[in-house]
Every structure is written in structure tokens, then in C-alpha cells.
Amino acid sequence: MNNRSSIYSYTMLLIIIVVVAGSSCKKYIYQGPITSTYEAAFWTSQSSVEQAALAMYGQLRSNLRSGNSYFINGDLASGNFLPNSGQWNLATMKASASPAFNFSYVPYYEDDLQNWSRFYQLIAQANQILQNVPQMNAGLFSNSSVRNNYLGEALFVRAFTYFYMIRIWGDPVYVNRTYNDVDYGKIPPLARTAESVVLDSCITDLKTAASYMKFAGGDAARAVRANKGSVYALLAHIYSWKHQYDSAHFYCQQVMNNGGYSLEPMASYKKIWKGQSSAESIFELSMQYNANDPNFVNQNSWAEATMGFFGTFLKGPVVDNRNSACWLSPDGGFVDQFMDTAVDARYKAIFTHLPASGGDGAGYMLVKYTNFLYQKPDIKTQPYINNNLVLFRLADIILLDAEALAATGDLAGAANDLALTEGRAGISSYQNPTTQYDMLDEVVMERGRELIGEGQWYYDLIRTEQTQQWLEYVGYLGARVTAANKGYYWPLDMGNLFPQDNLLTQNPWWATHK
């Protein structure tokens, strides 16, 4: 059996087991991807662990791509794009809706946006690696470093998953062990755990992971697997989310000074999203066409390359006119407000202005992800977009460092960081801020300019809401986004999730506004 077939068989097993487990009242907690009877037969070699690790990354890709939720959560919710004219069920996801950005009314997107079950399947996969690899004979691995690196990858993916869930739904149900056939039907209900407690556990896990791993040295080919650089980048983000900015600065500096990464020159800026092509990339998910991918033809959720995910930003000739509508940054919106289109080189590199067409108003089309191809070009079938999804890159960490320095009063240091990305774009400074408030505002705006369409900006707005009130600026009701009401988090689909866990509670704002 070849490696690709082995991975396919393993992932199909995961799907089968999850379906079987679906009859349990603890469905999203009991997500054992390998039954207890199969464990002994599976965990017998380094190659089997490699298959499990690749399946874990595949599940992460599938989860983030589900229903385009990655971009809905991170970009559409920030107001920097409008849904396309045909997406009636996302029509409430804009400032002009009444109420604005109504997360509770997204028909047919409930599974993607209000249900976290798929992430517990991913956590279960990481937990399986963490439980089984230490029990395997050391002689089954090339060396102890290889063995430990697999553990580091699983710790990273589990921590990333919890952090991702927290930024969407707030307090998660925390599961850090595996459940198997012996436990089936005996799992007690679990209440949600405070996000601060879960993040502290993630920090502990990530520090362990860092001790197992090495920097990738800016080697773009290695960006699709977790390494010390991605671990430190995640630590920087978690500490920033917790507003522990001294620690955030420390880990940003580790990435910036020791990771071996470098900013992509403006002349080749779009290499960042080409896929394993840029020394700026710290961690990315592979979404490249693979002729051996058995999931591609049917475009199921495990397919590596797809048309629809990145295609949500594209229409017209750039995708051979296969899309007549797409998300646009509208005239008078983000681009017009925050980018100097005459000077900022990023504007020409990543935006194209379009007149009103296909039911969409006039606006700016994002062209970061434009490697459109056909599997069979002669008959134009099986279209796909051959770009990778970059989750962490150096510019992100530089600007996170600028935020940390500004928040702790080092305005000169923050300005130096800003100069790195703004300088690459050909601008000295948009505002030349001289106060802490203005400096933090400039960082938020620069993160938006640099990271637009990368699923980041909405979380920047939440993270800086305490001092900058950007959520109100883009259209959120002030009472909704207080620290007490937490209306910046999405509601949970209690109709589906509560019967599985009767200790589950709804997020405060949505308990009375669903």
C-alpha cells in the first residue's frame, strides 16, 4: 500500500468511527478516531505515526475550510468585505443589517459557524498521538528527536485548535484525554472551562512542544509542518489575547530574531500565498493540487485543492468567469478608508477595483489567491485554486510585536516594527502616531492592511476592544461587545449540542438575543 493510500485509509477510518460515535449522547466529546481494538494494530511503526500526523493536518485543513468559516469568522465579521449578492443567508453579516452582524441568523451555516463538534474530532486525533506514541518502543523510530517531534506537532495542533475555538466561541469544553470503547456510554457531561484556564494549559503544552522541536530556518518547504517557529508564534498570539504583552513581546522576538524568517520583497509579494515558496511563511496549510488525492474529483472536505474556498474572493476572468459574484471590499469601505491607494504598493499587488456587476456593488477584489487551474485544461473540468492558507507569517508577528510594545508604552519600538511592513509597502507611516492610543490604532490598521483576507483582523478587533473600540467603529452595538456580554463571540447551536451535554451553557449575549 503506498503512502497516499495509507493516509486515505486512515482518514476514512476516522470518518467511519465518528459516524458510529454519533449515536452517543456525548458525540462531540467521544470522538475516538481509532477504536481500542484497532489501536494495537495501528501504532506499530514510525510510518503509522506519520500517517496519523498527516491525517491530523488534513482534519485541521478540513475544519478551517468548512463552509468558508475561516474567512467568515476572521474577515467577513470584521466588515472589511461584503458577502456576495447570492449569499442571502449571510446577508446579516454586515454593518448595514438590522441588527448589524447578526451571528444568530445564518441559515444553512449553523454547522459551520455555531457547532464546534468537528474541532473535537481534531482534538481527539491529537490526543491519540499524545497517548499512543509514548507507549511505542523507542526502537520503532529513527531516533528520539523524530519521536519527540511528533509529540510536539500534536501538542501544537491541540493548542492551536483550542485557541481557535476560544476566539470564536469563548470558553470551550476542555478535553485532554482520549475516550475509547471502554468509556463509551460512561462519559459524564462536561461543563465549559474558563478560556483563561484552557489558554494556560495550552501555554504549558506549547512550552513542552518547543523543547521537542527546532526552527525551520525560513525553509519554505517545511512551513506545512509545525516547528519551533510556529509554536512560538502561537505563544505570542495567546499571550497577546491574554493581554500579557511582556510575554507576547518575548515570543515575538524569538521568532523575529532566531527563527530564520525574512520578509518577502514587495516585487515577489504574492509568493507568500503560492505555497511553500516564501521565507516569510511560518506555518501554512497545504491546499495544492495532488494527482494522487482520491478526494479531489468529488471535492469532498478532505480534498487538498478546491475551487470554492479561495474562490469566495474571486470572479470574472481571473477564474475563467466561473464565478459571477464574490466578496468585495466595497467602495467607501476598508480599502478607501485605510489604504493610500496612490502610494501603498500592496494595493496594486493584492487588489483590483471592479465596477458593479453580477449583483455585487462596486468594490475591490482581493487577488492574493489567484492561481486558478483546471485538472483537465483541454476540456476545462475540475477547476481548483492552487494556493496555500498561511496561518502565521513574519509580518503578522512583527506587527503583533508592535502591538505588544505600544501596549507597554514603548512607542519608539512599536514605530520601528511598523516601519518594517510599512517600509516594504513603500510608505513611511500613515499617521506618524505620537500617543499610545494612536499608536495602537495604527497597529490595528496596519494589521488590517497587511493581513486582509487571511482570517485575522476580526480577532485583532476583539483583542484591542478594551482600549480602541474598533468593534463599535465597524458597526457592532457597544452593549453587545462588552467584556460581560461577550457578543463578539458566536452563539452555540444549543439545539444540537445541548442534548449531547446538558451542562453546556450559551454565551451571555446570545442567551437573550438568539
Q: What is the pLDDT of residue 26?
A: 52
Question: Does residue 373 belong to any structural domain of this protein?
Answer: yes
CA distance 341 to 329: 13
> Do 340 and 329 contact (CB within 8 A), yes or no?
no
Residue 196 corresponds to which amino acid?
S
Q: Residue 335 sits in which domain range?
A: 308-387
Q: What is the pLDDT of residue 182?
A: 52
DSSP for 470-504 reads HHHHHT--TTTTSTTT-TTSPPP-HHHHGGG-TT-
SS (H, E, C) 301-329: CCCCCECHHHHCCCCHHHHCCCCCCCCEE
Question: Does residue 376 belong to any structural domain of this protein?
Answer: yes
Question: Does residue 25 belong to any structural domain of this protein?
Answer: no
**What grid cell was written down for 492?**
452555540
Q: What is the pLDDT of residue 20?
A: 32
The pLDDT tens digits for 450-487 are 999 999 999 999 999 999 999 999 999 999 999 999 99
Question: Does residue 330 belong to any structural domain of this protein?
Answer: yes
Low-confidence ranges of the chain (pLDDT < 70): 1-39, 180-186, 431
Question: Does residue 85 belong to any structural domain of this protein?
Answer: no
Q: What is the pLDDT of residue 25?
A: 34
Question: Does residue 350 belong to any structural domain of this protein?
Answer: yes
Q: What is the pLDDT of residue 186?
A: 57
Q: What is the pLDDT of residue 134?
A: 97
Q: What is the pLDDT of residue 466?
A: 95
Number of domains in the chain: 1
Q: What is the pLDDT of residue 292?
A: 85
Question: Does residue 312 belong to any structural domain of this protein?
Answer: yes
Question: Does residue 477 belong to any structural domain of this protein?
Answer: no
> Do 452 and 327 contact (CB within 8 A), yes or no?
no
